[in-house]
Amino acid sequence: MSMFFSEAAWLCLAVTAALGSIALCKHKSPGQLGSPVLWLAGLWGGAYLLILPLFWSLVLFSLSCCFMCMHSAGEELLPVDQKAVLVTGCDSGFGHALVQKLDKLGFTVFAGVLNEKGSGAEELRRNCSKRVTVLQMDITDPEQIKDAHSKVVEKVQDKGLWALVNNAGILGFPIDAELIPMMNYKRCMEVNFFGPVGVTKAFLPLLRKAKGRLVNISSMGGGIPMPKMAAYSSAKAALTMFSSIVRQELSKWGVKVSVIQPGGFRTGIAGTSDIWDREEKNILDHLLQEQLRDYGQDYILHQTKFNKSIGGVCNPDLSPVLQDIQHAISAQNPAPFYSPGKMVSLWLHFATICPTSLLDYLVKKVLVLDVFKPRALHVPN
C-alpha cells in the first residue's frame, strides 16, 4: 500500500509539473499570469489547511491544473479579418503606441485624439497605413463624441465596431487629499470616469452589433489606496466598478468587457514641467491659511519637484500593457482583468485579502517613495 501511495504520489507530482508548466506557458502575458498562479497556490494551501494527505493534495492540485489547461485552450487569438477598433487618448502614451501596433496587425483603427493638429496626431498620420483614421475626440465634449460616432458609423456600416478601448485619462497633481482643489477632483472624474462612460454609451450599439469588446484602461491605483492619489485613484476605482457591472450586463449581448490595471509606466500622463508649475500655482492659490501654516509652502514645492521626477522611476517599456490590450481585443476568451507591470497582480490580490493595518503599513513602506513631511510635523532638533 505504501509502495502504491508512493508511486501514485510521484505520478501525480509529475502530472502536476507537466500540466502546471503547460498552464503557465498558456499564460505568458503579465496580466494573465498572476491570477492563475495565486489561485493554484491558494488551492494548494487550502488542501493543507484541510489537513488532506499529500496524495489527495496532489490530486487536487493536478485537477486544478487540468481545469486551467482546458480553460486556456479557448484563448487563442481570433483572426483580425478587418475588425474595427476605436482607441481614445492617442496623442501619446499607451493609446499612441497601441494604434501603431493594431495597424501593423491589420486592424481598422479609429484613433481619437485631443488635438487633431498636434504632433501625436501628425505622427500617426505619417507612420500608419490608410487603415488608421485620426479623429478629433475630446471625451468630455458630447459634440465631439457625436461627431466621432458619425464618422465611425459611416465607415463600419453594418459590421459594427469590434472593440472600444477607453484609454484617455489624466493624472492630476498628486498631493494630499486635503490640498487638492475641488475643481481638480471634478476634472479627474470628468476625464477618467464620466468621459469613458459617455463614450461607452455612445458606441455600445455598435459593439453589440459586432458582439465585440469593451476595454477600459484603469490603473493599479484604482484597486490599491495610495497616498496623494485621491483624485486620480477615486476616478479609476469608479471606472473599474463601472466596467465590472457592464461586464455582467453585456454578457447577454455577447460583448466581453476587460479592465487593464497597469502599474507605473512612462507615458505622457505624467505631464511636463510647465504643467506641474501651473498645477503648483493652482494648489497654492486655493490653500486656506490654516493649511498653508500647517503644511508649509516648502511641502507643496517639494511635491512639485517630486512629481517632475515621476517619469524617471516608471517603466519605459510599454509592451506588457500593449500585449494585454491586444489579448483583451483578440482572444476568444479575454480575461476580465489584466494587471501589467512588476508585482501589480500580486499587490491587487493582496489588497483584497490583507488586513487593513498591514496593507497600510506595506503601502507606506514599499509604494510611497516620498517621505517629506508637512511643516507642522517636523520634529525639532
- Residues marked as catalytic: 232
- Cell numbers at residue 32, please? 494573465
* DSSP H or E stretch at residue 126: helix 119-127
Q: Which of 103, 106, 105, 110 is nearest to 85 (CA)?
A: 110
- Cell numbers at residue 270, please? 505624467
CA distance linking residue 171 with residue 272, whole number of Å:
12
Alpha-carbon distances of 124 from 121, 150, 200, 346, rounded to whole Å: 5, 21, 24, 35
The C-alpha R_g of the chain, in whole angstroms, comes to: 24
Contacts 24+ apart (CB under 8 A), 2-10: 5/55, 8/55, 9/54, 9/55, 9/58
DSSP string, 281-292: HHHHHT--HHHH
* DSSP H or E stretch at residue 217: strand 213-217
